[in-house]
Structure 1
Amino acid sequence: MAIKRKGAAPIIEIEAGVRFSKSPSLYEASPFVDRYGQYRHSDWPGKVKTEADIIAGGREEARVHATWPAPKGYDKYGGRTDTGWKEKGTGFFRVAQKNGYWFLITPEGKPCFYTGLCTVEPGVGERTPVNERLYLFDELPPRTGPSAGAWARNLWGDFSGIEYVSYYTWNVARKYGESWPEKSAASVRERLSKWGFTGLAKWVSGVPNVPYLPYLAHWDVPNLADHPDVFDPAVRKVFADSLKQQMGDGIKDPWIVGWSVGNEYPQIIKTAEIRSILTMPGKVPAKRALIDHVVHTTYNGSTEDAGKAWGLGPTGEDALYEGHPDAPAADIEKMRRYYQENYYAFMRDTVQQNDPNHLYLGCWPVPGWWENDEDWRITAAYCDVMGFDRYAATFTEPYLDKLIKEGNKPILCGEFAFPPYYDGMRGFGRYSTIYSKDDADAARYYRTWMKDAAANPYCVGVCYFQYRDQAITGRGPGRGEVLVIDENFAFGLVDVADRPKWDLVTAVRESNLAARVDRFGHAGIELKSK
């Protein structure tokens, strides 16, 4: 390096040599995953080296749990029994407001601030696809014996024969042996209680008689562009029948907090979707309905004026339907909102017609993962409780506070998390919107988040995503010579060896229990026992 001066400003010249070399192929660097589902190419404190480490983790958990008493002062659904405030028990969850603060009311009529946990399925971890990339794995679980349940085929609605394995399930089988399904189910129940959770959240199964938030899908309903054509009576019938079948006997289940249909961004009607519909044949019911709506609300019923504005020239109704309107952005947005209003209204009305007793929570939009803020307003208009997901460092921020107040509905966060990245040393991905350095850093985020959620007058609860870490090679579906397929983040409260992350779990317990008490203090409700 040489420094030269020209006048008063120095000029720095730097010489460097660069050598390029071919990066190793996946095959040359494999295997990436050890026999316990961990990253092979680095080491860290607490990494599992033998099966004895997994079993020792179970003993440590029993020791810690013995020092943590179970929460007291709650009914079986998580409602406080010591407030002096009791609503009428209806046999189902509902909401009520007290001193300006919203609360869930349990089936027994007790007020509740809900703390939930996502993706709980005892002993079952998210499986990773193995087709055409077997070389990534040092060893795969036996297909017979206790580990047989680690294998699966044709998941995620893909029926192309893809095989999957769960190292988490294999490790649970190592931990408990043949009786792993029963013992892991008992472990889940104890963890939920000891860690301060009211119950479960989304994506759960296998834990009866615990509150939960079931998810209804519409994979079996035909889409027009990205969503079902709810303006088509035939599609409406298929959609309604599907929802009714999925709900089944759940309409009688007091443990269900509320229903939701779909999840996050895929449930948003997009601008591009509307433009695509406008290129379809004129007989498509959605196209006709969208055109009719804007013709009557913007152009006072004049097809000639609409045709001029849309580049079709003065024209009649049939020509509008059969043409390919190049509508201005304001008209496209009006169509988009109209479609979204009808779509959300149909889902809400169908769910409530089948089940008038349970809450309807909407479709969990993520603030910012949408076309514009109107998507929050429309969602809030068509639900009992505004369910949303949020991956951010804070529970709310000014623009979201404004939307919450405008909606004037109780809110429930269905997913939040701060997945540790561990400086990339453990093979996990770095989440794009929010991540933490390690478990202790995630614990700091969690404490702040829970404190803020409990203080928010509209919030009736929050749910953490998720129970256990994802596979470092991804959760699928897919195949081929790639290292990661879909998500591979360290979201979990437990690792791939079913061991609690104690720095995080300790904060989770303390924060959950504090929030379930502090909520009442914020509302000016005195508890007889804390």
Structure 2
Amino acid sequence: MRFRRIAILFPGLLAGALCGASPTVLDLTAAGAVKVEGNIGSCPRNGRLELTVPAASGLYAEKGLFPNIRFAPRNGKYFDFSEAGVLAAEVENLSPYPIDIVLEIQGELPDGRKALSKSGIALNAGEKSVLRHRFSPVVNTSFAPGGVFDPFPGFPNPRRPDPARITRIVLMCRRPMREFRFAVSPFVAEAPPERPAAALASPAAFYPCIDRFGQYRHADWPGKIRREADFTAAREREESDLAAHPLGTAGRTVYGGWADGPTLKATGHFRVEKYRGKWFFVDPAGKLFWSFGIDCLYPANPTCVDGRREYFEWLPERDDPKFGGLYGVNRRSSAFYRKKGIETPRTFDFHLANLLRKYGDCSPEQFARIAARRLPSWGFNTVGNWNTAEVRRICRMPYVVQAKAAGSPLLGTAPYNLYDVFEPGFQAAIEANMKREFRAALDDPYCIGFFVDNEVRWDKLPRLAEHVIAMPAETPARRALAARLKEKYRTIDALNRAWGTGYPGWDGLGRLPAGKRIPEADCRDFNRLALERYYRSCRDAVRNAAPRKLYLGSRFAGFQTLDAAEAEAEYADVVSANLYYRSIAHYTGVADKPLLVGEFHFGTTVAGSGSPGLQEASGREECAKAFTRYCESALYNPNCVGVHYFRYADQPVSGRTGDDENMQVGFVDGCDTPNQPMIDAARRIGNRLYEIRLKR
């Protein structure tokens, strides 16, 4: 099939192709065809555009102030890339340290709604590689399947602009800690466009859209399961692969530590220490340990079926002797089901059904036995967050777990399920949860430590005091706020003058009058008080329940507020964050503390899912390259003591329970078929962890 080769040429650049010469069909430099804006310096040189990125004002720079350069058509409204399947450009890092570049494609859907998609690239010092962005076809449809976070391929999606309606191309950098330089060659169309599935023409043609194995029916890809015999073939291929890559890595202790490295103080449990200017875990035997793990090691992976049974080519009868027991009920339905009046939709687990087909057993023990063979062979040394007791027991490798203050009161209707940390029983609730859910881990030498909570969004609650002041007077947080204000202002008159309010007395504090706001300083002061109470309580809970375990923090969702970061750094043994970027080489906190990455991933839409997750790549090989660069950047970062990949298995293509996420980011798919490019990349990293970390 012939297709147009498109070169996007920046001002002053010469036409050219990615690999060898190619004709320029769309010369954006002709007659000043491209408008350029932004705060990244640019200079055309030797057929490329060289860019100089200024350092951000700091780790906690305001959102929207990322250094960027924007390219828009000067004549007309759109760039038309309808004949491009993948847009590609060669990029070279001109700096002596790793860098991270984001490519943002802004545009519209066919109906005129705005849409944007992102990709990017991380490069080591002096490295030259290819940045790729995959376009997806978008069609106007008379119907839209629901219950999925990202629509199936071809349906309108605000994360998938129409390739024919691209309004702007943006190169940006997220909060660069130092100035860096890179060069970009002309973009070219590297592949022909994808064509939307004919089945999108009507509901009658589209449904059912999920086959008997839980896969998307209207797409094909290498490794797709088409018949039950394919499971046997896939199992035999993997047996050969595992046999060729024996369990574990040479030169490691039973805990995965660096046996051939220095011997430090051994305590019988994990601890942290800085060695040669870089933070490490130290394993129970006293050997350096860098945690390389994977999250979500559990067999259950259900999807909701009530309210959309027409989606599915096959569902078993409830009394089916083989598969009937794989039905369940979702107690936390998403908005899609609530709008249908379904509060507790029935679920079915295609992942468990496929494990049953493949192994004849889908029990937690069988799942753990499979993981115990795979993880060490794949190069991993840690069982990441969200795992089962069976996995922890059978894998017998280092692991982390997450506690919570189960049963402790929440702050009323405050968003993000924030606990009332001033509740007298808050710390005790964490301790009780640890002893109830993780008793075997409390003194297990393989347990690295405990997170408490996940992604508590303090950054989304800068004015928490305004929520708390409207709560009943007997609420512990409300009493703490009142006490803090009384300590500062002494009299209610002083508070009223500062706030512009008319409260009759301290007992009369309550909801703010219309149009009034609590002063910024008082909001921040209360947040600091709550943060200090939260992290101190979490630290003390871990010390009381598991005194020889590390408190691993609260797994921030990316960059956090300065106050939250300072509070975590003060009390946690290891700070933690879920960092969905291309590189974390220069990620620094507010203190010289060890950092553990709780989540990161890279995904694609080449195997039927509409969702590539939070960091998209153009295909599985590109995901593997991005994974490699991310891990290398973490090993470069002197504070980072490990990274844990999210997640082990793809989410159901028809949406997981609770929030309908359907990300294609796993090391295995919903049919338990391994993602070989990712596995190969993980093995390469796992075998060279300490060589890379210490540049030996």
The C-alpha deviation readout for 1:118-144, integer Å capped at 9, x for no partner, is: 1112xx242111122211111124654
The answer to whether residue 326 in structure 2 is matched with residue 134 in structure 1 is no
Residue in 2 aligned with 1:23? 142
Distance 1:234 1:42, change over 3 A: closer
SS for the counterpart of 2:495 is: helix
Q: Do the aligned residues in 2 keep the contact of 1:446 with 1:511 (CA within 8 Å)?
A: no
User: Take 1:95 and 1:335, find their aligned partners in 2: how far apart are those partners?
Assistant: 32
- Residue 625 of structure 2 aligns to which amino acid in structure 1? R
Compared CA separation, residues 282 and 187, structure 1 to 2 (3 A)? closer
Secondary structure class of the residue paired with 1:252: coil
Partner of 1:473: 654
Task: Please give the per-residue CA displacement for 1:284-323, whole angstroms capped at 9, x wherever unaligned.
Answer: 32123123324535x4x44432221122248643344787
Instruction: Specify the alignment match of 2:230 in structure 1.
Output: 53
- For the pair 1:514 / 2:514, whether they are aligned, the reply is no
| Partner-residue secondary structure (3-state), 1:103 | strand
1:78: which partner in 2? 256
Note the C-alpha offset of 1:234: 5.0
Match of residue 200 from structure 2 = none
Contact persistence 1:367–1:376 (CA under 8 A): no
Higher strand share: 2
1:86 offset after TM fit, Å? 1.8
Q: 1:393 aligns with which of 558, 582, 604?
A: 582
* Equivalent residue number for residue 170 of structure 1: 353
User: Partners in 1 of 2:290 and 2:347 — Cα distance?
Assistant: 37
Between the aligned partners of 1:11 and 1:198, the Cα distance in structure 2 is: 55
Supply the distance in 2 between the matched residues of 1:266 and 1:305 (Cα, whole angstroms). 32
Aligned to 1:288: 479
Shift of 1:220: 2.4
Is 1:279–1:323's contact at 8 Å kept on the other side of the alignment? yes
Offset at residue 41 of structure 1 (A): 1.4
Percent identical across equivalent pairs?
30
**Residue type of the partner of 1:134?**
R
Q: How many residues align?
A: 489
Q: What's 1:428 paired with? A: 610
Matched letter for residue 131 of structure 1: D
Deviation at 1:214, TM superposition (A): 0.8
Number of the residue aligned with 2:567: 378
Structure 2 CA distance, aligned partners of 1:258 and 1:345?
16
Partner of 2:328: 152
Equivalent residue number for residue 126 of structure 2: none
- Asked if structure 1 preserves the Cα contact closer than 8 Å seen for 2:333 and 2:657, the reply is no
**Aligned residue for 1:257?**
448
Match of 1:111 in 2: 288
Inter-partner Cα distance in structure 2 for 1:465 and 1:409: 23
What TM-score do you get using the length of structure 1 for normalisation? Answer: 0.84
Alignment check: 8 A CA contact 2:333 2:345 kept: no
Q: CA RMSD in A?
A: 3.1
TM-aligned CA distance change 1:190 to 1:322, over 3 Å: closer
Cα-to-partner distance string for 1:147-168 (whole Å, 9 max, x where unaligned) = 4563333456999643222212
* Distance change >3 Å, CA 179–CA 294, structure 1 → 2: closer
Q: Secondary structure at the match of 1:152?
A: strand
2-side partners of 1:161 and 1:11: how far apart? 53
The equivalent residue for 1:310 is 499
Matched, 1:223 2:410: yes
The verdict on how the C-alpha distance between 1:25 and 1:279 changes in structure 2, with shifts beyond 3 A counting, is closer
Distance between the aligned counterparts of 1:181 and 1:239, measured in 2?
A: 26
Instruction: Identify unmatched segments of 5+ residues in structure 2.
Output: 1-32, 34-73, 79-109, 112-138, 146-202, 335-341
* Aligned pairs for 1:431-442 within 5 A: 431=613, 433-442=614-623
Q: Which residue of 2 aligns with 1:500?
A: 674
Contact persistence 2:583–2:634 (CA under 8 A):
no
Q: Secondary structure at the match of 1:97?
A: strand
Change (3 A) 1:156 1:197: farther
Q: SS of 1:213's equivalent?
A: strand
- The correspondence for 1:418, drawn from 602, 607, 619, is 602
Give the counterpart letter for 2:673 in structure 1: R
CA apart distance, 1:263: 0.4
**1:207-263 residue CA offsets vs partner (Å, 9 max, x unmatched):** 212221111133422212332222232555555544543343421222211101110
- 1:210 aligned partner, one-letter code: M
Per-residue deviation, 1:47: 1.7
Match of 1:204 in 2: 387
Partner of 1:480: none
Deviations 1:75-99 (A, max 9, x none): 111111111x223332221111212
CA contact (8 A) 1:129 1:162 kept: yes
1:16-47 deviation digits (Å, cap 9, x = unpaired): xx999870464643211001111111222322
Check conservation: 2:355, 2:361, Cα contact below 8 A.
no
8 Å CA contact retained: 2:304, 2:656 = yes
Quote the Cα distance in structure 1 between the aligned partners of 2:617 and 2:140: 33
Paired with 2:670 and 2:463, the residues of 1 have a C-alpha distance of: 40
Q: Counterpart of 1:271 in 2: which secondary structure? A: coil
259-268 vs 144-153, greater mean Cα deviation: 144-153
